[in-house]
Amino acid sequence: MTIINCSNGENGVDASFELAEKTKEEANVYFKNQDYQQAIELYTKAIDLNGSSAIYYANRSFAYLKTECFGYAVLDATRAIEIDKNNVKGYYRRASAYMALNKPKLALRDYELVTRFRPNDKDAKIKYDECSKIVKRQAFEKAISVDSLQRSVADSIDLDTIVVEDSYDGPRIAEEGITPKFMEDLMKHFKEQKRLHRRYAYKILLDIKEYFMAKPSLIDVSIPESSKFTVCGDIHGQFYDLLNIFDLNGVPSESNPYLFNGDFVDRGSFSVECIFVLFGFKLLYPDHFFMARGNHESKTMNQMYGFEGEVKAKYNAQMAELFTEVYNWLPLCHCLNGRVLVMHGGLFSKDGVKLDDIRKIDRNRQPPDEGIMCELLWSDPQPQPGRSPSKRGVGCQFGPDVTTQFLDDNSLDCIIRSHEVKAEGYEVTHDGKCITVFSAPNYCDSMGNKGAFITMNGKDMKPSFTTFEAVAHPPVGAMAYANSIMNFFM
């Protein structure tokens, strides 16, 4: 608890409390205007003035949820509950954060308490019931899973048995495979809100899985001196913004190579369209189009944030399982001209990690809760030196000294990562050695941020940034296919 200076007597304490309340109200305004970072700063100021208010901690916890700082959200919600054991919002916030961290058992305890406090709250009852189902489902899946004996979904699919109806008017994959014309037709087809026939959808997934299985966890990319190379960050199912990137920067080709740095799906409600276009270009230009795994290319995230629900709605459950198999084989990072390392999340909780350590990672699995693979997908930079526990509750936060040491150990110039929303779509930190790029503008149809992509040439590898605003999309909002329990507005 913050100790308040009482040198001015009782009136001084009252003045501090009054100022704290005024600051909280100001923070609420910023929160309503979706300026969550400013809201967090003001809630923090209010807490400094009056650390005994459960409401301030509960409100800041909500703002942390909005910025995906789930670890911090848990801490603040817990503090609110410690101050006031009857603070229902604290239990709500903590339960939401636990769900985001894939800890449904812990969330269930909090939802149960909420239902006790509010027995007539229908939303609380729905969340409790849904969380209970998730806990039971995960227990069942764990009980029946035997990884060494589990048959691959890919092995059970026979394309020859999938008939393409005469009425289908969409793009078709010919015997020669994917062509530029197919990709052009596919993007037009998707833009018109039509679906790729499941025969061709399955073929893309089977072919891309076979391709990625033969590749290492770290991909070395050679960029000729005179060539342009583009790095994009999170897309998150924002298909129409993906098309806008291609309008601004040109469609992928052998002379216009791209790297998409993870989180292709979830949240945005056109994730199926995004992933098939990206996989299609990868198959068309395997040596000039690259994809890295993000923290959202995982089964648990897809179950919660919408991709699994979207695949089931547009295709079927079998295809959702096949996507999980494919994602397990996505490379974890790329090294550009031996100078720039690109990963989705960030660096590590321990010094001494070498590129060869990354190459040796057995990535064919769901992301673990700790270790090099986890941190590549989840970690974030921080401005201060050293390391800190992750604001997300997974991975770690690393300072400029950690970045410098890693680069020196591996003879690299800088790292490029994604994973975080940035107001301008990108951010350069750690004395220019750590660059964040995020390519989903107006993230979740609510954040108001710009998107960005990076271009560089092989000669000097200096990054150039292009920013862009969100474009209109059909009236299907973000999180339309997400699990209902992921509503953070309670």
Mean pLDDT (whole number) for 453-460: 96
pLDDT band with cut points at 50, 70 and 90 for residue 139: confident
Mean pLDDT across the chain: 94
pLDDT in the model for residue 381: 98
Residue 1 has pLDDT above 90, yes or no: no
Of 144, 174, 204, the position where a domain reaches its end is: 144
Mean pLDDT (whole number) for 104-117: 94
Is the domain of 257 the same as that of 176? Answer: yes
Of 116, 144, 172, the position where a domain reaches its end is: 144
**CATH classification of the domain holding 333:** 3.60.21.10
pLDDT in the model for residue 148: 42
Sign of the four-CA dihedral 242, 283, 229, 250: negative
Is the domain of 236 the same as that of 165? Answer: yes
Kindly state whether residue 297 falls inside one of the protein's structural domains.
yes
Residue 150 has pLDDT above 70, yes or no: no
Mean pLDDT (whole number) for 70-94: 96
Is the domain of 299 the same as that of 434? Answer: yes
Residue 146 has pLDDT above 80, yes or no: no
Kindly state whether residue 280 falls inside one of the protein's structural domains.
yes
Per DSSP, the three-state class of 59 is helix
Residue 276 has pLDDT above 50, yes or no: yes
Is the domain of 118 the same as that of 185? Answer: no
Spatial contact of 373 and 364, defined as CB atoms under 8 Å apart = no
Is the domain of 167 the same as that of 303? Answer: yes
Is the domain of 36 the same as that of 184? Answer: no
Of 144, 162, 189, the position where a domain reaches its end is: 144
pLDDT in the model for residue 64: 95
Sign of the four-CA dihedral 66, 72, 73, 74: positive
Kindly state whether residue 2 falls inside one of the protein's structural domains.
no
Write the burial class of residue 376 (CB in 10 Å: 0-12 exposed, 13-18 middle, 19+ buried).
Answer: buried
Spatial contact of 459 and 448, defined as CB atoms under 8 Å apart = no
pLDDT band with cut points at 50, 70 and 90 for residue 34: confident
Nearest to 177 by CA among 221, 211, 154: 211
**CATH classification of the domain holding 123:** 1.25.40.10
Is the domain of 160 the same as that of 135? Answer: no
Sign of the four-CA dihedral 347, 351, 356, 361: negative
Residue 141 has pLDDT above 80, yes or no: no
302-357 confidence digits (pLDDT tens): 999 999 999 999 999 999 999 999 999 999 999 999 999 999 999 999 999 999 99
Name the residue type at position 68. Answer: E
Kindly state whether residue 268 falls inside one of the protein's structural domains.
yes
pLDDT in the model for residue 3: 37
Is the domain of 224 the same as that of 245? Answer: yes
Q: Which two tokens stand for residue 61?
A: 């916890």
Mean pLDDT (whole number) for 448-460: 96
pLDDT in the model for residue 10: 56
Confidence (pTM)? 0.92
What is the span of the domain harbouring residue 55? 9-144
Beta strand pairing call for 414-417 and 340-343 = parallel
389-401 confidence digits (pLDDT tens): 999 999 999 999 9
Residue 4 has pLDDT above 50, yes or no: no
Kindly state whether residue 3 falls inside one of the protein's structural domains.
no
Mean pLDDT (whole number) for 55-77: 95
Residue 5 has pLDDT above 60, yes or no: no
pLDDT above 70 coverage of the chain, percent: 95
Kindly calculate the radius of gyration of the chain based on its CA atoms and give it in whole angstroms: 24
Q: Which helix (H) or strand (E) holds 466?
A: strand 464-468
pLDDT in the model for residue 102: 87
Kindly state whether residue 1 falls inside one of the protein's structural domains.
no
Kindly state whether residue 374 falls inside one of the protein's structural domains.
yes
Is the domain of 124 the same as that of 230? Answer: no
pLDDT in the model for residue 12: 65
Is the domain of 234 the same as that of 103? Answer: no
Spatial contact of 466 and 439, defined as CB atoms under 8 Å apart = no
Active site residue 334: no
* β-bridge partners, 427: 436
Residue 66 has pLDDT above 60, yes or no: yes
pLDDT in the model for residue 15: 87
Name the residue type at position 335. Answer: C
Rounded to whole angstroms, the Cα distance separating 33 from 28 reads: 9
Q: Within 10 Å of residue 127's Cβ, how many Cβ atoms?
A: 26
Residue 221 has pLDDT above 80, yes or no: yes
Nearest to 10 by CA among 22, 18, 20, 1: 18
Is the domain of 317 the same as that of 459? Answer: yes
What total of structural domains would you count in the chain? 2
pLDDT band with cut points at 50, 70 and 90 for residue 89: very high
Residue 142 has pLDDT above 50, yes or no: yes
pLDDT in the model for residue 197: 98
Kindly state whether residue 149 falls inside one of the protein's structural domains.
no
> For the chain, first and last CA: distance in Å?
26
Residues 6+ apart with CB under 8 A from 210: none
pLDDT in the model for residue 145: 64
Is the domain of 69 the same as that of 192? Answer: no
pLDDT above 90 coverage of the chain, percent: 89
pLDDT in the model for residue 93: 95
Residue 376 has pLDDT above 90, yes or no: yes
Nearest to 383 by CA among 429, 350, 423, 419: 429
Spatial contact of 56 and 87, defined as CB atoms under 8 Å apart = no
pLDDT in the model for residue 293: 98
* Active-site hit among 189, 197, 236, 296: 296
